[in-house]
Amino acid sequence: MIPVAPVVELRGVGRTFAAGDVSVPALAGASLSVGKGEYVAVVGPSGSGKSTMLNLIGLLDRPTEGTYLFEGIDTSDLDEGQRAGLRSRRIGFVFQSFHLLAHRTVIENVMLSTIYNGMPRLERVPAAEQALIRVGLAQRMDFLPTKLSGGERQRVAIARALVTRPALLLADEPTGNLDSATGGAVLGLFDELRADGLTLMVVTHDAQVSTHADRAIHLRDGLIEAVA
Amino acid sequence: MTDLVVPAGAENVAPAQMSPRDLAAEAVAGIFARPGRTVLTVLGTVLGIGALVATLGVAKTAGNQIVGRFDELAATSVVVTNEQGFFGGPGGDVRAGIPSDADARLLRLNGVNAAGSFGPVEVGAALVRSVPIPDPLAQTEFQMSVYGASPGLLGAVRGELSTGRWFDSGHSDRADRVAILGTGAAQRLNVTRVDQQPVVFVGEEAFVVIGILDEVRRQPELLNAVVIPEGTAREVYGYVSASTVQIDVEIGAATLIAEQAAIALSPNEPTLLQVQKPPEPGDLRRDVEGDVNALFLVLGGVSLLVGAIGIANVTLVSVLERVGEIGLRRALGAARRHVAAQFLMESTAMGLVGGIIGASLGVLLVVVISAARTWTPVLDPVVPLVAPLVGAITGLVAGLYPALRAAALEPVEALRAG
């Protein structure tokens, strides 16, 4: 049997920001591997490099050192257009502040991610409906996001990330703007998605999140401190 | 060991695609996200394009109107004057007199309907009076112009006699003591009929009134004057030559006759005669169009520029406001060019809509102005078709900088800011 490549593989990845003459290493020498179907939490205090790592893994940023393989593809060989293409087809994002378009309905927000990945027009509405049913918002499809609660908005964002059937779901502080009850509901949804076989990486400083994950990667001052 | 594994889905690294239809849909959605602001933004282009279309339309309409009011009377009149020579009275320095056979010379030109010459007769301080009946209550003697005229003058000025007749060449050749009174002169001299051959005296010279000139379409000074045949004027007062030749020409012949008349009258020194011809209708229309256009096109251009700045400004504000959305779209797989294209499309669409509305309002304005003035609205059909295009180009140019700003945003920064 041919072994399947891990979804995410970092080999000594670092990211240094140049601020004037001073260079600030936000992440250094990070090596990790996330296999298909894994649920990994990235935890650490603010400024520890969590978001930098997430941006690198999400192909929103390029490492200044090391090699990043996404599904076995060396991403340093890819140009901007190819990286955008990879994002549109293989990576789903969930943000702390949801990033929903206020003037578009729930289903339009979900379909937004289908216009950049070449999904045929006829498949978009069924796919978006399916994703919304999956996150439990079948009754809210034609609402504007402003009419929804915080937990519902985050579930719309999750549906938007799921509609393209990505290989990896990246969540950046998904419960940061939610109270503990609705946050718990979102984490429950992540558990279900993991059970469906989705690969998840969640960046958080919330200890509750890491208890749901298969393992937690602790970051401190840009270094991987421990893998629990 | 990981080098041995098969990378999954090489087709997944194909660059992100976005169909033009999706692009248009996103742009339209962006425009309608803030309808109020969009309306205000579009207003600038509406005013600019509207002003341009209205200007072009009104200029064209007004220019056409001048042709519509084509003055048949003025267009058929050519006047030759001799201002440098001395006319009337003996002993003058006659440099380029109008010949006594001016009528005949001009009638030989093709296109001349009638020609007649006249000039003031030097009568000294002589007053004009009718039958000398002393009336202590009324003024009976008047200072009046006396003109010597050729027989053809009546036709050339399109005059009409209320009574009697005009003199002919016989009167002139024989130097008959006859006179025509202008209607104003006749009234003052109290002459109303000529069947009893009333006599007027110019100083001590008596003239039989043979006709009263009721109306002239040209040279209205004749209406307050005593007009005598030029032969009579020559004999009695030593009249030398006419000062003015009035020519009535065929429509369209004015320019040609104006060139030929001076040569016909004074072949030796035609430049000493001044020729007045009607303005060319084509020139006139172009002049009016030019005047109106130059001024208002500048105004329209300024409005359009203001409109463009408005679009640029609002699009830029919109980009800054939607930084989060831009970051999101980049995360969802939009390439820089997709983001740039979306904002360019939005500004272009606003310019296009502004152009369409502006062109409609401009056309409407031309119609309203024309209706108020009872003109026939005239508009080059190309104008309302090109105007929306100009609006769209305005929007496109105005959106360039904001779109590039949007495309230049780094997704990480944009997501954090939004």
**Residue A101 confidence (pLDDT):** 92
Q: For A109-133, write each residue's pLDDT tens digit.
A: 999 999 998 889 999 999 999 999 9
**Residue B137 confidence (pLDDT):** 74
CB contact under 8 A, A103 and B32: yes
**Residue B269 confidence (pLDDT):** 78
Position with higher pLDDT, A157 vs B140: A157
Position with higher pLDDT, B17 vs A7: A7
**Residue B89 confidence (pLDDT):** 38
Q: In this structure, is residue A16 part of a structural domain?
A: no
The tokens describing B43, both together, are: 């207003």
Residue B2 banded pLDDT, cuts 50, 70, 90: very low
Q: In this structure, is residue A108 part of a structural domain?
A: yes
Alpha-carbon span B386 to B71, nearest angstrom: 35
Q: For B28-75, write each residue's pLDDT tens digit.
A: 888 888 888 888 888 888 988 898 888 888 888 877 776 655 566 677
**Residue B86 confidence (pLDDT):** 46
For residue B16, the chain A residues in CB contact (below 8 A) are 81, 84-85, 87-88, 116-118
Q: Cβ of B6 under 8 Å from any chain A Cβ?
A: yes
Q: In this structure, is residue A23 part of a structural domain?
A: no
- Mean pLDDT of the residues in chain B: 84
Q: For B288-315, write each residue's pLDDT tens digit.
A: 667 666 777 787 788 788 888 888 888 8
CB-nearest to A115 from B8, B22, B325 is: B22
Q: In this structure, is residue A29 part of a structural domain?
A: no
Q: In this structure, is residue A107 part of a structural domain?
A: yes
Q: Identify the CATH number of the domain in which residue A192 sits.
A: 3.40.50.300
Question: Rounded to two decimals, what is the model's pTM?
Answer: 0.67
Residue B4 has pLDDT above 60, yes or no: no
Half-sphere exposure of B374 (CA within 13 A, CB side): 1
Alpha-carbon span B167 to B151, nearest angstrom: 6
Distance from B339 to chain A by nearest Cα, in Å? 11
Q: In this structure, is residue A142 part of a structural domain?
A: yes
Q: In this structure, is residue A22 part of a structural domain?
A: no
Q: B44: part of which helix (H) or strand (E)?
A: helix B35-68
For the CA atoms of A117, A119, A124, A130, the dihedral, rounded to the nearest 10 degrees, stands at -80
**Residue B150 confidence (pLDDT):** 92
Q: Give the best residue of B38, B332, B412 to mutate against chain A (max A CB count within 10 A).
A: B332
Q: In this structure, is residue A30 part of a structural domain?
A: no
Alpha-carbon span B13 to A74, nearest angstrom: 11
Domain count, chain A: 1
Share of chain A above pLDDT 90, in %: 68
Position with higher pLDDT, A66 vs B41: A66
Q: For B361-404, write each residue's pLDDT tens digit.
A: 999 999 999 998 888 888 888 998 999 999 999 999 999 999 99
CB contact under 8 A, B7 and A71: yes
CB contact under 8 A, B8 and A97: no
Q: In which domain, by residue range, is A117 found? A: 37-62+80-227
CB contact under 8 A, A85 and B12: yes
